[in-house]
Amino acid sequence: TPEPAPQSRTQPASILESMRLLALLAGTASALALRPQPQLHAGRSLRPGRGVAMAAANDAAGGYRVLVPIADGSEEIETSCITDTLTRAGAAVTVASVMPRAEEGDLVCTMSRNLKVVADAAIGSCAGDAWDLIALPGGMPGAKHLKESAALQALLASQRDSDRLFAAVCAAPAVALAGNGLLEGRRATCYPAPALREALPQASDDLVVKDGNVITSQGPGTSLLFALRCVEVQSQA
């Protein structure tokens, strides 16, 4: 008897649903109280978030608060997909630098392809706050910097222990989460490099994986699906 054809890792229905949700987000963006979109210029910096003050205002209005930690070497596409998609969905997104110099006021991070991004805040100023979602972009050595940030790791441990949502894509699940024991007993996925997959306690081939209150995904090519899954889960919270 012939062997059954291998199943696609991404179901067509889920792709269509993601496209429908993206169209809905884009169509309703003008109706939301969103910030003006930043302009990019050669040699200039991009400030993607809306800041801690905006996050607090949105929280008071009943919205949800998202923290996106970045560092030198974080991946641009993933950072942009996370911040833009969640902002369009009505979240107050704060982009925080974990680089030590950020505590002295230097909030510029040089991303993995040399785009310079200006964070909204230093990670130290975000400690002690309650976040509905903490979403980590990947990229190297960005994920390594995220792993080594004591302030960020304390926030992530709090998310795990309080059953609040946290998420990571690309190298970040293996390096910044599994590397600090935050994926014990969880299925997860990451960038499909053997050295990274071996770091996961329970590796999955799925493009996006949710296990309990953690969401993981594979890389730049899946970052939109990842961001939309975060929107979907947060909307059901």
Strand 214-217 relative to strand 208-211, pairing: antiparallel
DSSP codes joined into one string, 70-117: E-TT--HHHHHHHHHHHHHTT-EEEEEE-SGGGGGT--EEE-TTS-EE
Is residue 182 within 8 Å of 151, Cβ to Cβ?
A: no
Closest residue by Cα to residue 162 from 97, 125, 214: 214
- Is 170 a residue of the active site? yes
CB count, 10 Å around CB of 192?
A: 12
Closest residue by Cα to residue 167 from 137, 199, 193: 137
User: Is the Cα dihedral 53, 55, 59, 61 positive or negative?
Assistant: positive
Closest residue by Cα to residue 211 from 221, 219, 196, 201: 201
Q: Which one of 109, 170, 190, 230 is the catalytic residue? A: 170
Query: Which residue type does 14 have?
Result: S
Is residue 230 within 8 Å of 135, Cβ to Cβ?
A: yes
Is residue 68 within 8 Å of 94, Cβ to Cβ?
A: yes
DSSP codes joined into one string, 168-222: EETTHIIIIIGGGTTTTT-EE---S-HHHHTTSSEE--SSEEEETTEEEE-SGGG
- List active site positions: 170
